[in-house]
């Protein structure tokens, strides 16, 4: 055989040998890459399962706390409604005590409430002597004073109800029993 044929045979053999080594390396790299991918996929799937379990546990805890909070809120609203009802009843009784004139009576005036130490005639004449007093001899308070006392009473009741509600909320948030 001629030298050219031998040289061509050697080049073809070298080419074939290089291609075989390259293909073998490429297939081994692909197997290794697939193995790593499967390892990572398995690790990620395991993490997903653990995360789903943790999420379910935390969701259940959150739901339990939310339910407890709603229960406490509903109980507080019932108590607030009861307190508001009591306040409304007392306000209605106070309005009923004003009588047909719509004015409150002076508890210290003669013939009203606990009475006074002085004679009945002295109280009536004293109240009638002061024209700017606004009260008349029957022991009624002035319209302005009655309105002021009614307004201040309603405001005090609103503040007391809000304070009671907030205090109960604070105790329930802290998990303490009301004193």
Q: How confident is the model at residue 172 (pLDDT cuts 50, 70, 90)?
A: confident
Is residue 38 within 8 Å of residue 30, measured between CB atoms? Answer: no
Determine the straight-line distance between the first and last CA of the chain, rounded to whole angstroms. 114
Tell me: the pLDDT tens digits for 13-22? 999 988 888 8
Per-residue pLDDT at 108 exceeds 70 = no
Per-residue pLDDT at 65 exceeds 50 = yes
Share of the chain above pLDDT 70, in %: 75
Q: What's the pLDDT at 100?
A: 67
What residues pair up with 105 in beta bridges, in sequence order?
A: 140
Mean pLDDT of 8-15: 89
Q: H or E stretch including 97?
A: helix 3-97
Q: How confident is the model at residue 48 (pLDDT cuts 50, 70, 90)?
A: very high
Q: What's the pLDDT at 128?
A: 43
Instruction: Tell me 111's DSSP state.
Output: T
Q: What's the pLDDT at 109?
A: 63
Q: How confident is the model at residue 58 (pLDDT cuts 50, 70, 90)?
A: very high
pTM equals 0.46
Per-residue pLDDT at 125 exceeds 70 = no
Between 30 and 105, the more confident residue is 30
Residue written as token pair 């991918």: 37
Strands (E), 22-101: none
């Amino acid at each position: 055989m001629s030298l050219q044929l031998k040289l061509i045979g050697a080049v073809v053999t070298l080419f074939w040998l290089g291609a075989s080594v390259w293909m073998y390396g490429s297939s081994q790299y692909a197997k290794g890459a697939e193995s790593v991918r499967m390892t990572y996929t398995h690790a990620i799937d395991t993490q997903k399962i653990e995360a789903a379990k943790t999420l379910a546990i935390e969701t259940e805890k959150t739901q339990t706390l939310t339910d407890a909070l709603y229960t406490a809120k509903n109980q507080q609203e019932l108590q607030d409604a009861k307190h508001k009802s009591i306040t409304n009843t007392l306000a209605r009784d106070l309005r009923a005590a004003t009588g047909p004139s719509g004015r409150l009576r002076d508890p210290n005036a003669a013939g009203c409430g606990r009475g006074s130490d002085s004679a009945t005639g002295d109280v009536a004449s004293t109240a009638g002597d002061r024209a700017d007093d606004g009260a008349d001899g029957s022991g009624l308070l002035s319209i302005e004073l009655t309105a002021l006392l009614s307004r201040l009473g309603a405001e005090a009741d609103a503040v007391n109800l809000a304070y009671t509600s907030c205090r109960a909320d604070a105790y329930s948030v802290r998990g303490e029993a009301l004193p």
